[in-house]
Amino acid sequence: MTSNNQDLVIGLDVGGTEIKAGLLKGSEIVSARRWPTEREKGPQHAVDQVLLAAKSMHDEFPNATAVGVVVPGVVNTKTGVAEYSENIGWRNVPFVKLVNEMTKLPVGFGHDVRAGGVAETIYGAGKGFANSFFMPIGTGIAGAIVLNGELFDDPYAGEIGHLDVKSGYMCACGVTGCLESISTGPSIVRVYNEKSDSKLESSFQVLEAAKEGNMAAQEVWSAAVESIAFALNAYINILAPEVIILGGGVSKAGDALLEPIEKYLDGRITFQRRPKIVIAELGDHAGMIGSGIFGLRAKNDH
Ligand SMILES: [Zn+2]
């Protein structure tokens, strides 16, 4: 994957809490702004906030030559429509049409996690690898699949968060056992608080407690990470990535995440290709930088 990085583009990364907006030149963030998504005011309001962000950025940076928009949920990149987001609640929003009408610029469009995967592949931890898997572990878990240097861009691909890891916990998707029910940041806190009748607020606090010798916290952290390792091993056996890039809030644990995964793989990988397991390099900006890449591609396809 390559990208012409000379043009200035506007990248919007829409999340459930906020819209990250940037004026980008390749992976360089020339200027950044944030708007609240305010999903609690309803799906239409969230759409209006995205359009407000696009308009404000376009007004402030009229020299931008394209816009990229990436959103969570089920995304149809062929029609330019955000079909569904459980997180934000919208259905069938034609973002490409709406943003193009407002800015008169070419509009690239995609899924937030897959945009992050493309950004990490071109500019970050996946640079130089043809086959990679980018998996942010945050409030949810999903992955971006890159095969032979190209993003596998199917709206239903990469839902590793709903692999059955026999967690014993109910998942938001409606069944029991999913990776998301035990290994996301909020799941780690919830499981720990339930087990120890505590009121911790973040997975980092659980990790800190584990490091200080709290056995319940150690058990919860280990179970979360082993479930991640189990799910990654399934991916490794099927698609043989050269590199697995872990992102999202939980990846800030660094070695406390990587070491148990490597140890698990020591006992599982025999003849298979053993991928490098690394932490993402672009951090919170991966989705926004990816949306800029999509914007530039829309312009070049124009
Ligand atoms: Zn699920």
The Cα–Cα gap between 73 and 48 comes to 18
Is a pLDDT exceeding 80 seen at residue 187?
yes
Q: Which one, of 49, 13, 50, 46, lies nearest residue 32 by Cα? A: 13
Q: What percent of the chain has pLDDT over 70?
A: 98
Q: What is the model's pTM? A: 0.92
- Residue 178 CA to ligand 1 center (angstroms) comes to 5
Domain boundaries, the chain: 9-111+284-301, 125-280
User: For helices 203-211 and 185-196, what crossing angle results, to 10°?
Assistant: 60
How do residues 4-33 score in pLDDT, each as one tens digit? 557 999 999 999 889 999 999 999 999 999
Of 146 and 173, the one with more pLDDT: 146
Is a pLDDT exceeding 90 seen at residue 3?
no
- Residue 16 CA to ligand 1 center (angstroms) comes to 18
- Report the 10 Å Cβ neighbour count for 198: 16
- Residue 80 CA to ligand 1 center (angstroms) comes to 26
CATH superfamily of 9-111+284-301: ATPase, nucleotide binding domain (3.30.420.40)
- Residue 24 CA to ligand 1 center (angstroms) comes to 35
Q: Which one, of 285, 288, 293, 282, lies nearest residue 7 by Cα? A: 293
How do residues 255-295 score in pLDDT, each as one tens digit? 999 999 999 999 999 999 999 999 999 999 999 999 999 99
Mean local confidence (pLDDT), 85-97:
94
- Residue 163 CA to ligand 1 center (angstroms) comes to 7
- Residue 173 CA to ligand 1 center (angstroms) comes to 4
- Residue 195 CA to ligand 1 center (angstroms) comes to 21
- Residue 184 CA to ligand 1 center (angstroms) comes to 12
What does the pLDDT read at residue 6? 75
CATH superfamily of 125-280: ATPase, nucleotide binding domain (3.30.420.40)
Mean local confidence (pLDDT), 219-246:
98
Alpha helix stretches (DSSP H) within 105-214: 112-123, 180-183, 185-196, 203-211
- Residue 160 CA to ligand 1 center (angstroms) comes to 9
- Residue 114 CA to ligand 1 center (angstroms) comes to 19
Q: Which one, of 254, 249, 137, lies nearest residue 201 by Cα? A: 249
- Residue 266 CA to ligand 1 center (angstroms) comes to 28
How much is the mean pLDDT over the chain? 95
Mean local confidence (pLDDT), 194-205:
96
- Residue 157 CA to ligand 1 center (angstroms) comes to 14
Answer whether 9-111+284-301 and 125-280 agree in fold. yes
Rama region for 135: left / alpha / beta (φ>0; ψ in -120 to 50; rest):
beta
Is a pLDDT exceeding 70 seen at residue 128?
yes
- Residue 164 CA to ligand 1 center (angstroms) comes to 8
